[in-house]
């Protein structure tokens, strides 16, 4: 499951680099949240509920214009939950 999460996070990074019409503040928030996941994943010090909430909040405004990105964020949140993080 960890490999799937790592692959999904890489996919999310790729999508963030490709999309040019995001609000810079929201992109920064989303990138910071993803970085927190990656930095603390091995330590199991993050709360998936808190992370999932922040990820969804950061992508809420993009749901209509970037549904693939929002779907990827949802997969990350689901994987964290399944891992018990």
pLDDT in tens, 29-47: 888 888 888 877 766 655 6
Nearest to 13 by CA among 1, 33, 2, 25: 33
Task: Note if the pTM is more than 0.85.
Answer: no
Mean pLDDT, consecutive 10-residue segments, the chain of 85 residues?
A: 87 85 79 82 65 75 80 84 74
The 3-class SS string of 30-82 reads HHHHHHHHHHHHHHCCCCHHHHHHHHHHHHHHHCCCCHHHHHHHHHHHHHHHH
**All structural domains of the chain with their residue ranges:** 2-82
Nearest to 52 by CA among 31, 37, 65: 37
């Amino acid at each position: 499951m960890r490999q799937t999460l790592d692959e999904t996070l890489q996919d999310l990074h790729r999508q963030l680099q490709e999309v040019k019409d995001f609000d810079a503040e929201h992109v920064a928030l989303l990138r910071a949240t993803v970085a927190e996941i990656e930095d603390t994943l091995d330590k199991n010090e993050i709360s998936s509920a808190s992370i999932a909430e922040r990820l969804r909040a950061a992508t809420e405004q993009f749901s209509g214009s970037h549904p693939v990105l929002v779907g990827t964020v949802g997969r990350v949140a689901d994987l964290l939950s399944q891992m018990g993080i």
